[in-house]
Amino acid sequence: MNRRDFLKSVGLGTASLTLGSSVSASNLFQPKDRPNILWILSEDISPDLGCYGTEAVRTPNLDKLARQGVRYTNAFTTSPVCSASRSAMITGMYQTSVGIHHHRSHRDDGYTLPAPVQPITEYFRQAGYFTANVKTAAPGVRGSGKTDFNFKFKKPFDGSDWNKRKTGQPFFAQLSISVTHRGGHWKNLRQKLKDPVDPAKVKLPPYYPDHPIARDDWATYLDSIQVMDGYVGKILKRLDDEGLTENTVVIFIGDHGRCHVRGKQWCYDGGIHIPLIVRWPGKLKAGQVCDDLVSAIDISATVLKIAGIEPPNYMEGRVFLGPDAKKREYIIAARDRCDETTDRIRCVRTKRYKYIRNFMPERPYTQINRYKERSYPMLPLMRELHAQGKLTPVQALFMAPRKPDEELYDIQKDPYEIRNLADSPEHQKTIKKMRKILDKWIRDTGDKGQFPEPESAIQPRDLDRIKEDRKRP
């Protein structure tokens, strides 16, 4: 393959991916290079960064990382909740294909992945890499050490820091940042910032009420991103200080979308659309923007290829860099039980359209979920305003007593997914095509969401709540 053919094979959106001046297609993935790989996951974030055009937020370190690498605008997770999403990413498999699709399932029943599926860290270990789930991220920064896998595995990582590796040994490191995950620590975030986000300047999605509580909550979310950005800056400085920058591939992503009403746990873009930035010094030309569709499970296949490890044939993730890159026409995402809240939703997302199938439409968006009840200030606000008749029709959609059987959105014209076109006569050809894609995917992957979840797989607390909710009138 010559240089021209290679550039065509990895075209990025409207512009081609270009390589560093000393790199050719033939040596892009040579095992002798054996680069380090640092995979940074920020919890519960959508592409709400300065480099993605988000107003009010300031993310200088991630903006710089984007200028030094490639920023992807169409990256999506396969699930809108952490345990299912992370389980899929670490295996390169749809969580629904291997029975790890229900949130925080299989914690006590000893469930293991079906052979030959295994975490990608095992392939790195076999290739001589040191694998780390980083906790000592940088001075003043700790990684959460979160795995949250919905399966049992003896030793997914070798240690908690890449500095434990042997001299000259390359490393694959996962580093999770939890400050962006909603929790009690959000109450003190403003104290950590010299210039916190002004709630008056945030731009709320139209499906939220323009209310001080909503603005303050959204501003706090952006504040958490600003704190996280500072952590990323310190982590990247550590690479500089240790002389590792030039031989380390840095991948920054979210583990799923933002932790807000209509975001996390939902298949709307707010729940599955994530930032993705890749920096590979000397290999990828800096400052590129790519609009190719990328699924988070593709990252697993790609980092294996970067390390000179051939991704196993069973893996459902695709390599998205280099001469073996395979572009996607669409991505698939799935939501199943989250905490005690049972539901089943599937979606197909192309660059233009989003198709959602609600398998349990009789269950409302606001069915009981205690995590959200105690953590989402916008949820009781919207209930109160809805009772008072003060929500707009768009805002009231989420308060409906049931969900539509099907949803179809033209993302280019309707990026907030608020105008359902499922019954539109002029879109029947599109929705029929999307139905066929989803039906085929369910068959081909053996989507295990079709089958009842055994009670043994559910955490006792969630099982008790499920049984309690079944008794409700």
CA 229 – CA 327 distance, rounded (Å): 30
Tokens 């009670």 appear where? Answer: 455
**CA dist 147 to 133, 176, 177, 259, 472, Å?**
8, 9, 12, 18, 34
CA 57 – CA 408 distance, rounded (Å): 31
Pairing of strands 130-133, 171-177: parallel
Task: Tell me how far the alpha carbon of residue 205 is from its chain's centroid.
Answer: 20
CA 325 – CA 131 distance, rounded (Å): 25
Task: Please return the burial class of 412, using the count of CB atoms within 10 Å of its CB with bins 0-12, 13-18 and 19+.
Answer: exposed
Catalytic annotation, pick one of 82, 259, 267, 347: 82
Q: What is the dihedral of CA 24, 72, 276, 310, to 10 degrees?
A: -40
Alpha helix locations (H) across 135-194?
A: 189-192
| Catalytic site includes residue 51 | no
Pairing of strands 331-335, 288-295: unpaired
- Quote the longest CA-to-CA distance of the chain: 69
Q: What is the dihedral of CA 265, 267, 268, 272, to 10 degrees?
A: 80
What does the chain come to in residues?
473
Decide if 220 contacts 189 (C-beta within 8 A).
Answer: yes
User: Which candidate, 69, 88, 102, 91, places its Cα nearest to that of 339?
Assistant: 102
Q: Which two tokens stand for residue 234?
A: 């310190």
Three-state SS for 72? strand
Pairing of strands 171-177, 331-335: unpaired
Write out the catalytic residue numbers. Answer: 82
